[in-house]
Amino acid sequence: MKILHLADLHLGSKLDSSLVSGLNKYLKLELRNTFNLAVSYAKENAIKVIMLAGDIFDSDYPNERDKTFFYDVIKANPDIDFLYLRGNHDQDRDQSLYANITNLKTFNSSWTYYNYDNICIAGIEMEAGNLHSYYQTLDLDASKINIVMLHGEISDSFGNYKINLKKLANKHINYLALGHMHKCLIANGPDFIYAYPGCLMGRSFDETGPKGLLELAIDNNIITPKFIPLAKHELIDLVFDISQYNSDYEVSLGVQKSINFNKNNLYRLTLIGSQNYPILSLASIKIYLNDVAFFLIIVNKSHIKLDFSNYLEDKTIKGELVRIVTNNHNLTDSEKDQILNYAFKALRGESL
């Protein structure tokens, strides 16, 4: 038997502010489509159970279009059971929208158990009243293959959405299906496997790399999780040193030679190093790099190459800064250069 484990879709969420407004709208729709791709993957592989480990929505009060879309997809796939455990972002669940959807299985503040032959899937939604007790009240049959669904972060402390793995030891758990962390993680707990599938699609440059879900293959009482990338677009954060180049065009050629761009992906390219020519034009570089990616934003954190010795006799604030820094024998030459470049940049009113 196979089961899908996914989480942290965050339907309706705001995307990275660096993504232009038109792209924001497209990616919000693509976020919905990625969930649809997950369900299509289940259908194509005859998978009958999808575990949704929290934060399906990004708000306690999601908008009607996101809610309608989510429940419409579930209604359109009656042969698949959707086990939906709420996370910290999706506390609201409008019963009027799902009351008659028989293949949507939900959880509450007490342990709920769903059985599929010899497999038991248990889940509980955390709240103030069960933060200490839910470890003790979990009751699993040792003769079954037991999967436990929770939403939160691994921690040795108690609190909202805190999960102490040691407290779950010796409970006959085979697999702990988690949500909350946006990067895929598969690891060994005290006597079980625990895993976060990560978010289904990156929404900012803090959520880089492949995104998707976990497919659980269950055979001979052994659960083997496998990451399945689904997102059409990856967000990738890159840094490029421009110190050896003498023009915008040379920078663009260096970038294309050094970076293997994928036209489906979104990139943030940060330029660093010393600038060997008077005026750096990000617009020009971006034009020269036209069509290398689905989306590209360029951030300049390079500095103009200056001969600071020219300021040693200067009676301005720049001269005073150069004298203070160059006479500091606790700093290396590289550190002095960096400090002065930051200082001169600040004096020019540029962001650091």
Q: Which of 9, 26, 17, 6 is nearest to 204 (CA)?
A: 17
Number of helices (H), then strands (E), belonging to the chain: the values are 8, 19
pLDDT for 116 equals 95
Q: Is residue 352 predicted with pLDDT exceeding 70?
A: no
Q: Which of 46, 44, 94 is nearest to 71 (CA)?
A: 94
Report all structural domains of the chain as residue ranges with CATH numbers, in order of start: 2-229 (3.60.21.10), 235-347 (no CATH)
Question: Per residue in 298-310, pLDDT tens?
Answer: 999 887 776 677 7
Q: Is residue 60 predicted with pLDDT exceeding 70?
A: no
The whole-number average pLDDT for the span 72-82 is 95
pLDDT band for position 312 (cuts 50, 70, 90): confident
CA distance 308 to 320: 11
CA distance 130 to 152: 14
* Higher pLDDT pick, 123 / 160: 123
Q: Is residue 93 predicted with pLDDT exceeding 90?
A: no
pLDDT band for position 159 (cuts 50, 70, 90): confident
If you average pLDDT over each of 123-132, 156-165, 190-199, which comes out highest? 190-199
CA end-to-end span of the chain:
54
Q: Is residue 174 predicted with pLDDT exceeding 70?
A: yes
The whole-number average pLDDT for the span 74-78 is 95
User: What separation in angstroms does the CA of 330 have from each of 34, 310, 325?
Assistant: 54, 22, 10
The whole-number average pLDDT for the span 208-226 is 94
pLDDT for 98 equals 66
Q: Which of 228, 236, 224, 232 is nearest to 212 (CA)?
A: 228
Assess contact for 130 and 158: CB atoms under 8 A. Answer: no
pLDDT over 90, % of the chain: 58
* Higher pLDDT pick, 344 / 210: 210
pLDDT for 94 equals 60
Q: Is residue 150 predicted with pLDDT exceeding 90?
A: yes
The whole-number average pLDDT for the span 246-267 is 95
Q: Is residue 206 predicted with pLDDT exceeding 80?
A: yes
CA distance 88 to 59: 9
Mean pLDDT lowest for which of 76-80, 218-222, 341-345? 341-345
Question: Per residue in 17-40, pLDDT tens?
Answer: 777 767 888 888 898 999 999 999
Q: Which of 113, 79, 107 is nearest to 93 (CA)?
A: 107
The whole-number average pLDDT for the span 45-51 is 97
pLDDT band for position 294 (cuts 50, 70, 90): very high
* Higher pLDDT pick, 63 / 46: 46
CA distance 206 to 298: 16
pLDDT for 279 equals 82
pLDDT for 63 equals 76
- Beta strands 153-154 and 193-196, pairing class: unpaired
pLDDT for 62 equals 67
Tokens describing residue 203: 């929404």
Q: What is the mean pLDDT of the chain?
A: 89
The whole-number average pLDDT for the span 72-79 is 94
pLDDT for 284 equals 94
Mean pLDDT lowest for which of 56-65, 98-107, 231-240, 314-323? 56-65
The whole-number average pLDDT for the span 53-82 is 87
CA distance 322 to 306: 11
CA distance 178 to 185: 10
pLDDT for 95 equals 60
